[in-house]
Structure 1
Amino acid sequence: MKMGFRWFGEGNDTVALSQIRQIPGVETIVWSLHDVPAGEEWPMDKILALRDEVEAAGFNIDVVESVNVHEDIKLGLPSRDRYIENYKRTIEKLGQVGVKVICYNFMPIFDWLRTDLHKEMEDGSTALFYEKARIENIDPFDLVAKINENSALTMPGWEPERLARLTSLFEAYKGVTDENLWENLRYFLNEIIPVAARHNIKMAIHPDDPPWSIFGLPRIMTSQENFRRFLKLHDSPYNGITLCSGSLGANPDNDIVAMIREFADRIPFAHIRNVRRYENGDFIESSHRTQDGSVDIAGIVKAYHDIGFAGYARPDHGRHLWGEQCRPGYGLYDRALGIMYLWGLWDAAERSAQK
């Protein structure tokens, strides 16, 4: 298992590369060009500048998260071909600088959804929280305003240029079914996977977060059955999954350990995090520790060890601890604690296997 840490870039992150360097076992910076709008080709000069900065700090740039997919591709509009060509050229450039994995998603409009970015927990820390009843009764425009208030940092999946088109996007998705989205995803994969294969890059789709429909929008990356269908859309070792235990773990019906074992050779990238589920459908993002949430993190790490997982992993969203002022879910302290917990589980599995 190769450990990574998501970093949003100089001036767009409260965490410094020098701080990440002090977390044991981290070798990969999981990165993106967050100032490039979805659908645009990534400029090579910006890629090289970030590569040089990251490598000078002692890390590699093997994993990109994310190269965002333009909404016209998801909608299957005639304009999608232009954006797909830009996507292909970006893949080619990333291959030239040694990128091994590209994480992306195919979620309509919203990449992820929460109702509270700083819900206080029993110990005084705060975390990202999803309140089911509120989602069912809130206007999405009011939620957008809430998510973006008082934020000096970009929120992945809630970029201003995308949200400025909210009214037209909801109108465009009227009548778009799950089957329409499946067909548009198939078209996209058939175009990009051969390019990724030529450049030895594994594409890794992220699950929908949360893994069910919201505001009537179609969502398809939600379950083991659907991932099975996804992998058959374009059957290639370069067509893979970013297996996110937190996103999938919000639904108690998802058996993440079973997914790891079934899709072992198609998981180039893993997000390992915990959520605490409530009977009313709410959930909050707890610490990574197994006992603190509803997801079997210990079982998940053991499953990765059992399959000989040699891909990339990172701790995902963390709580906000000790008064840290940071991008919601992406502070330093709890993600560092999470890494050490994951390494502890991994080391225990290693020692047990040697007996």
Structure 2
Amino acid sequence: MKMGFRWYGEGNDSVTLNHIKQIPGVETIVWSLHDVPAGEEWPMEKILEVKKQAEQSGFTIDVVESVNVHEDIKLGLPSRDVYIENYKRTIKKLGKAGVKVICYNFMPVFDWIRTDLFKELEDGSTAMFYEKAEVDQIDPIVLVQRIADNPNYTMSGWEPERLENLTKLFNAYKDIKEEDLMNNLRYFLEAIIPVCEENAIKMAIHPDDPPWPIFGLPRIITSQENIRRVLQLVDSPSNGVTLCSGSLGANPNNDIVNMIREFADRIPFAHVRNVRVYENGDFIETSHRAQDGTVDMVGIMKAYHESGFNGYIRPDHGRHIWDEKCRPGYGLYDRALGIMYLLGIWDSLEQ
């Protein structure tokens, strides 16, 4: 297991590489070029700039999260081939720079939904919260704009270019069903996986967050059955999954431990975080500690250990604690605590 830490880059993150360097056990930063719009080819000079910054602090850049997929690819439009060619050229550049894993998602319009970025927990910390009744009733344009208007940082998955004409984008998906989206994913994977194989890169699709349809938009990475199907679309070690315990764990019917045991050799990258799920369908992100949420964190780490997992892992969303001012879910303190908790479980299993 190789521990990573997501970093949004100099000038775009309250957490510095020097901060990350002081967390025991971290080997790689998990990064992206957040200023490059989805669909555009990544410039080599920008890739190498991040590589230089990381290596000066003793880190690798083995995992990219994410190379965003253009909406035309998800929609299956004729213009998708241009964007797929750009994606393939980016894969080749990342391979030359030493990248081993590309995390990506195939969620329409936006990457994730929450109704409150700073919901207060019992201990006075705050965390991201999903209220089912509000999502069921609110105009999606209103909710999306509320999240996108976060005053401190550009939110990953909510980049301005995605939000310029939300009504038009929602209309484009009104006739797209889950099967259509799955077929469009197949087309994409059939085009890029041979390039990944040639460049020693593994694609790792991230589950939908939350793992069910919202606002009439299709969602396809929601369950063990669907992940199995995606891995079979192109049966290659380069076609893998980013197993996110928090995203999948929002649905208590998902048996994440069983997923790890089934897909172990196709999980090049893992997100490990906890959520507390309520009977009414609401959920809130908690500390990584098993007792604080609904997800079997100890069972998850044990499943990875017993499966001989040697891929990359990172703590995912953390709470906002000790008055830290940070990007929602991506502060320093609680994610550092999460790393220590996950490594503590792992070390106990090494005995």
Answer yes or no: same fold by TM over 0.5: yes
1:151 match: secondary structure: coil
Cα distance, 1:150 vs structure 2: 4.2
Whole-angstrom distance in 2 between the partners of 1:35 and 1:29: 18
Asked whether 1:99 is paired with 2:99, we answer: yes
2:47 counterpart residue number: 47
Alignment of 1:1-355 (within 5 A): 1-351=1-351
Q: What one-letter code is carried by the residue in structure 1 that aligns with 2:164?
A: A
Deviation per CA, 1:284-331, whole angstroms, max 9, x where unpaired?
Answer: 000000000000000000000000100000000000001100000000
Whole-angstrom distance in 1 between the partners of 2:75 and 2:208: 16
TM-score (norm 1): 0.98
Whole-angstrom distance in 1 between the partners of 2:305 and 2:50: 32
Alignment root-mean-square deviation, CA:
0.6
Q: What one-letter code is carried by the residue in structure 1 that aligns with 2:344?
A: G
Cα distance, 1:154 vs structure 2: 1.2
Whole-angstrom distance in 2 between the partners of 1:110 and 1:214: 11
Whole-angstrom distance in 2 between the partners of 1:215 and 1:228: 25
Cα pair distance change 1:310/1:142, threshold 3 Å = same
1:19 match: secondary structure: helix
Deviation per CA, 1:224-245, whole angstroms, max 9, x where unpaired?
Answer: 0001111110000000000000
Deviation per CA, 1:152-178, whole angstroms, max 9, x where unpaired?
Answer: 311011001101121111010011000
Q: What one-letter code is carried by the residue in structure 2 that aligns with 1:73?
A: I
Structure 1 unaligned blocks of 5 or more: none
Cα distance, 1:148 vs structure 2: 2.5
1:321 match: secondary structure: coil
Q: What one-letter code is carried by the residue in structure 2 that aligns with 1:82?
A: V
Instruction: Report how many residues are paired.
Output: 351
Cα distance, 1:130 vs structure 2: 0.2
Whole-angstrom distance in 2 between the partners of 1:193 and 1:290: 36
Q: What one-letter code is carried by the residue in structure 1 that aligns with 2:265?
A: D
Q: What one-letter code is carried by the residue in structure 2 that aligns with 1:32?
A: S
Whole-angstrom distance in 2 between the partners of 1:279 and 1:68: 33
Whole-angstrom distance in 2 between the partners of 1:174 and 1:149: 25
1:338 match: secondary structure: helix
Q: What one-letter code is carried by the residue in structure 2 that aligns with 1:320?
A: H
Q: What one-letter code is carried by the residue in structure 1 that aligns with 2:176?
A: V
Q: What one-letter code is carried by the residue in structure 2 that aligns with 1:339?
A: I
Whole-angstrom distance in 2 between the partners of 1:320 and 1:152: 14
Cα distance, 1:141 vs structure 2: 1.3
Cα distance, 1:135 vs structure 2: 0.0
